[in-house]
């Protein structure tokens, strides 16, 4: 998976530049309001024993706007996640026509999703349900058809050649024809559509377009309204826990763009640099800290990879080992709070998020331990230049990094201590990091740097939320088709041993991790494997750890390993070479997966 870079603002016309500014401002304002509203609620509760009526409902609705305005920004700036490198790796003769083809498919699917969302909103126009006793729900929902319509236009206008744009615009009548004229239950239409979507995926069409297209085709074959997709999208995004994802992601971006990583490198190096392999341990701990907030999305590699690679090389580490270490640690914090993947898993699987975080403590520590052990082993082969321990330096950097070190205490104390809800904790964390980086350290300028950070954050969120919405629609279709129950019956007839089932489950999930991003996998696959695992007596929390560890391996597994693509881009190394450098880390993390799979105590003991 990859995402392409943004358009340079200095090449835009004044009108376009003004429109971009307005769009960025609206999106950033919605995200900031999401963060500020719960904090104000907490202050009013503590100081005046009152609060803001229905503030949680407002924040949940804002998360829908933040996610899908972000999806519009991602379509504008080529920020949507794709399966492969797309047209860049295709032969020249294919690249000549691929721009028109992928734009055609993207426009057709986005237009269809816009119409389905419009039908959803129209059905709710007369709904008596309101937000905060005054705001009709359709006002919050209207962002869905609007954002998909804007994305359809942007996909159509993406090709540089007028001819290709004209071809892309044919996607709108094509979508209308498939939706209204073709009869339901026509298998030739289904197979032709699936083939076109597969080809589009190979050529670099966004993942959410591919998943959305598959779902639309399946629903059409069943004669079911496509409005089921926005219905499931709205239900997921406005759930009580999902708003924590944008807020924690914002905190992670602020930390990554500010000077937090530099202070933490100095801190960990002063305290652990004297140990054999201490620098590798420092890198592992720092990346684990940052990836808990960024959702192991590759942001850590982009943000601190350029800082850490020269440090590792200057201290005697081989370049191949250094690249493998930085690539693998891009997902090392996946199980620790406030991991976005854990929050999403809890929402989709209806499992306690707090219990999931507790269950992830020992498996997460095992991951950090085995990666650190590889760093120590590397030192015995190629001795590094260690940093002598100096108490004065250690205390100095400890004081400099005190504000960043308070963040884990804030998160853990609030969530596990019961002082705030998950959303309130996420909001406090986002506001706290902004205050630290903007007002205390003054490393982010409020007018110049913060808007850019907000746009980067929103672009990532837009790519994620678009995937979540359509993937949940696909998962809902599979559940309605009783696919999980049929699979459970098949496994029960053909597999009797729980150990054999766990082995088959791991093989299946490794394949899933090779092909799907973690957000799609959670929404599509978890509802499928839950009934099967119950048949074999696998505890829900144990299943969660098995699933998440497999998906963590997926970040460094071709062909869809997101961290591999980000590392290849960041370090200027071919993709195959990056994967070769990560093989020792992949095998070490695979051992952790097998231990957790066959020793359930590792996941269940802390709960």
pLDDT at residue 85, rounded to an integer: 47
Q: Which residues of 213-242 are buried (b: 16+ CB within 10 A; e: fewer)?
A: bbbbbbbbbeeeebbbbbbbbbebbbeebb
CA atoms within 13 A on the CB side of 416: 15
pLDDT at residue 14, rounded to an integer: 81
User: How much of the chain, in percent, has pLDDT values that exceed 70?
Assistant: 91
- For 34-47, how does the pLDDT look when each residue is reduced to its tens digit (9 = 90+)? 999 999 998 998 88
pLDDT at residue 2, rounded to an integer: 46
Contacts of residues 96-102 at CB distance under 8 Å and 24 or more positions apart, as own/partner, are: 98/203, 98/204, 99/158, 99/159, 99/160, 99/161, 99/164, 100/159, 100/161, 100/163, 100/164, 100/167, 100/168, 101/167, 101/199, 101/200, 101/203, 102/200, 102/203, 102/204, 102/205
* SS3 per-residue string spanning 132-147: CCCEEHHHHHCHHHHH
Mean pLDDT for the stretch of residues 10-33: 85
- For 113-145, how does the pLDDT look when each residue is reduced to its tens digit (9 = 90+)? 999 999 999 999 988 888 888 899 999 999 999
Instruction: Out of 329-343, 381-395, 590-604, pick the least confident.
Output: 381-395
> CA-CA distances (angstroms) from residue 529 to 7, 483, 488, 505, 532?
41, 10, 8, 9, 5
pLDDT at 366 over 70: yes
Tokens 């231990």 -> residue: 595
pLDDT at 541 over 90: yes
Instruction: Out of 2-16, 53-67, 313-327, 411-425, pick the least confident.
Output: 2-16
> Pick the residue with more confidence: 363 or 224?
363
pLDDT at residue 86, rounded to an integer: 46
Mean pLDDT for the stretch of residues 320-333: 90
Cα gap 495→113, rounded to integer Å: 40
- For 163-186, how does the pLDDT look when each residue is reduced to its tens digit (9 = 90+)? 788 888 877 777 666 655 556 666
Q: Which of 25-39, 194-208, 471-485, 568-582 has the highest mean pLDDT?
A: 25-39
pLDDT at residue 10, rounded to an integer: 52
Mean pLDDT for the stretch of residues 211-220: 90
pLDDT at residue 181, rounded to an integer: 54
Instruction: Out of 145-159, 266-280, 498-512, pick the least confident.
Output: 266-280
pLDDT at residue 1, rounded to an integer: 47
Domain ranges in the chain are 9-237, 249-445, 478-604
Q: Are 522 and 580 in contact (CB under 8 A)?
A: no
Q: Helix, strand, coil: what percent of the chain each, to 5?
A: 75, 0, 20
pLDDT at residue 601, rounded to an integer: 95
- For 58-91, how does the pLDDT look when each residue is reduced to its tens digit (9 = 90+)? 999 999 999 999 999 999 998 887 765 444 455 5
Mean pLDDT for the stretch of residues 401-419: 86
Tokens 């004081």 -> residue: 399
Mean pLDDT for the stretch of residues 147-175: 85
Cα gap 580→598, rounded to integer Å: 28
pLDDT at residue 178, rounded to an integer: 60
Q: Which of 294-298, 314-318, 578-582 has the highest mean pLDDT?
A: 578-582
Instruction: Out of 38-52, 416-430, 481-495, 587-601, pick the least confident.
Output: 481-495
């Amino acid at each position: 998976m990859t995402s392409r870079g943004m358009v340079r603002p200095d090449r835009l016309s004044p009108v376009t530049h003004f429109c971009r500014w307005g769009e960025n401002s609206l999106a950033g304002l919605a995200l900031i309001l999401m963060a500020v509203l719960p904090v104000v609620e907490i202050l009013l509760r503590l100081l005046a024993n009152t609060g803001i009526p229905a503030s949680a409902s407002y924040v949940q609705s804002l998360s829908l706007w933040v996610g899908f305005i972000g999806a519009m920004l991602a379509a504008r700036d080529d920020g949507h996640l794709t399966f492969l490198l797309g047209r860049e790796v295709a032969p020249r003769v294919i690249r000549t026509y691929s721009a028109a083809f992928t734009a055609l498919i993207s426009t057709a699917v986005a237009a269809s999703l816009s119409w389905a969302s419009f039908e959803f909103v129209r059905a709710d126009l007369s709904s008596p349900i309101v937000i905060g006793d005054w705001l009709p729900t359709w006002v919050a929902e209207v962002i869905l058809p609007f954002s998909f319509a804007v994305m359809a236009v942007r996909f159509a206008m993406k090709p540089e050649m007028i001819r290709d744009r004209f071809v892309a615009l044919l996607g709108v009548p094509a979508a209308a024809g498939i939706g209204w004229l073709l009869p339901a239950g026509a298998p030739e239409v289904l197979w032709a559509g699936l083939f076109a979507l597969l080809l589009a995926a190979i050529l670099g069409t966004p993942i959410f377009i591919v998943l959305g297209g598959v779902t639309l085709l399946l629903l059409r074959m069943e004669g079911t309204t496509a409005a089921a997709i926005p219905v499931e999208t709205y239900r997921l995004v406005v759930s009580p826990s999902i708003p924590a994802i944008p807020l924690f992601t914002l905190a992670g971006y602020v930390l990554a763009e500010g000077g937090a990583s530099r202070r933490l490198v100095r801190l960990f190096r002063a305290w652990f640099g004297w140990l054999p392999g201490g620098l590798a341990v420092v890198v592992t701990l720092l990346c684990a800290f940052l990836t808990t907030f960024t959702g192991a999305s590759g942001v850590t590699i982009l943000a601190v990879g350029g800082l850490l690679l020269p440090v590792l090389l200057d201290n005697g580490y081989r370049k191949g080992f250094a690249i493998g270490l930085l690539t693998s640690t891009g997902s090392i914090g996946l199980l620790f709070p406030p991991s976005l993947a854990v929050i999403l898993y809890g929402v989709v699987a209806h499992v306690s998020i707090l219990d999931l975080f507790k269950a992830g403590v020992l498996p997460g520590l095992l991951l950090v331990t085995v990666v650190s052990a590889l760093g120590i082993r590397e030192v015995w082969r190629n001795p590094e230049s260690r940093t002598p321990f100096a108490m004065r330096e250690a205390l100095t950097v400890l004081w400099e990094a005190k504000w960043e070190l308070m963040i884990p205490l804030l998160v853990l104390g609030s969530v596990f201590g019961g002082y705030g809800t998950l959303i309130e904790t996420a909001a406090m964390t986002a506001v706290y990091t902004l205050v630290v980086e903007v007002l205390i350290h003054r490393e982010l300028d409020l007018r110049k740097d913060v808007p850019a950070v907000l746009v980067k954050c929103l672009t990532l969120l837009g790519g994620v939320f678009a995937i979540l919405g359509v993937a949940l629609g696909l998962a809902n279709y599979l559940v309605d088709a009783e696919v999980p129950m049929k699979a459970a019956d098949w496994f029960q007839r053909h597999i009797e041993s729980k150990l054999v089932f766990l082995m088959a489950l791991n093989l299946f999930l490794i394949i899933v991790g090779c092909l799907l991003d973690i957000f799609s996998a959670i929404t599509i696959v978890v509802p499928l494997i839950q009934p099967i695992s119950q048949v074999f007596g696998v505890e829900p929390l144990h299943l969660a750890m098995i699933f998440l560890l497999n998906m963590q391996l997926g970040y460094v597994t071709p062909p869809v390993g997101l961290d591999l693509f980000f590392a290849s881009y960041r370090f200027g190394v071919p993709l195959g070479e990056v994967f070769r450098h990560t093989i020792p880390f992949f095998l070490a993390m695979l051992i952790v997966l097998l231990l957790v799979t066959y020793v359930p105590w590792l996941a269940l003991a802390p709960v």
